[in-house]
Amino acid sequence: MQGYARTAMLMALMTALFMGVGWLLGGSGGAVLALVMAAGMNVVTWWNSDRIVLSMQGARPATGPETRGLNHMLMELSRNAGMPVPALYIIDTVQPNAFATGRSPDRAAVAVTRGLLQSLSREELAAVIAHELAHIRNHDTLIMTVTATFAGAISMLANFAMFFGGRRDNPLGIVGVLVMIIVAPLAALLVQMAISRGREYEADRLGAEICGNPMWLASALTRIQRLASRIDNHAAERNPGMAHMYIINPLHAHGYDNLFATHPSTENRVAALQELARRGGGYRREQSSLRRSQRQSPWG
């Protein structure tokens, strides 16, 4: 229920911001039109979030004998997480990365890149998938898609105002137009980035529990960061608003925490996982289960 409440609050905040921009652009009629558009966007995004994101990133279903081991891994990790098995997709890019999407654990998907399968060990791959399962279980996937959709729509309205002019007879005058053009998209971006960065630490923690070893994920994050910073992800570059959904920023952003970063720094995330490993506890059962499964079936 906490995940649904957080989603509702986020939708309300983004809808209010969207209506405010509409009012500054077209008065009360613009606000009503923005409300109608926001309602439609909410419904479409909620119902089709998985298909929208997967299509934009060029993902295809992971089928065939070559992905049988990978699907088996996903089943084992989903069992450890106590959740339904999501659909599995492959993205044909050499940059190692992954993301999860979907409106709920019952309607979710995990997408991994071809480069991830080629670059990581079995333990590291298991940790990355566990991290994405954590996002699904925490209902982060719907939140991430909603924020990206609304941030993009608010920026679109601001660009429209820049070219055609806003409603200058509004009570705020020219200041209101400038707010619409500059501050509104910035506010939407800050909400999107703050939520994105905060959810990563929690997904790292829960993902470590699901796979059974925090150091597997720490090693995977370090390797992905090193390789992804040198390899382009063309699908992500075409749709930068979706960058926050990946486990590591695919756009080669700065590797340190700052106000506009889509992810916490990899060094900070690894340090938090190392602290989890030092504290220990709660990991042995899942790890031994996965090792037994590994002996029975090859993964990838």
* CA-closest candidate to residue 109, choices 155, 144, 154: 144
Element containing residue 171 per DSSP (H, E):
none
- Gyration radius from the chain CA atoms: 20
* CA-closest candidate to residue 112, choices 247, 234, 213: 247
CA-CA distance, 148 to 137, in Å (whole number)?
Answer: 20
Active site residue 132: yes
Contact predicate 58/91, CB 8 Å? yes
User: Catalytic residue among 76, 124, 132, 286, which?
Assistant: 132
CA-CA distance, 190 to 261, in Å (whole number)?
Answer: 9
Sheet holding 98-104, edge to edge: 59-61, 87-91, 107-113, 98-104
CA-CA distance, 62 to 65, in Å (whole number)?
Answer: 10
Alpha-carbon separation of residue 79 from 71, 155, 173, 255 (angstroms): 12, 41, 58, 34
Contact predicate 153/37, CB 8 Å? yes
Which residues carry out catalysis?
A: 132
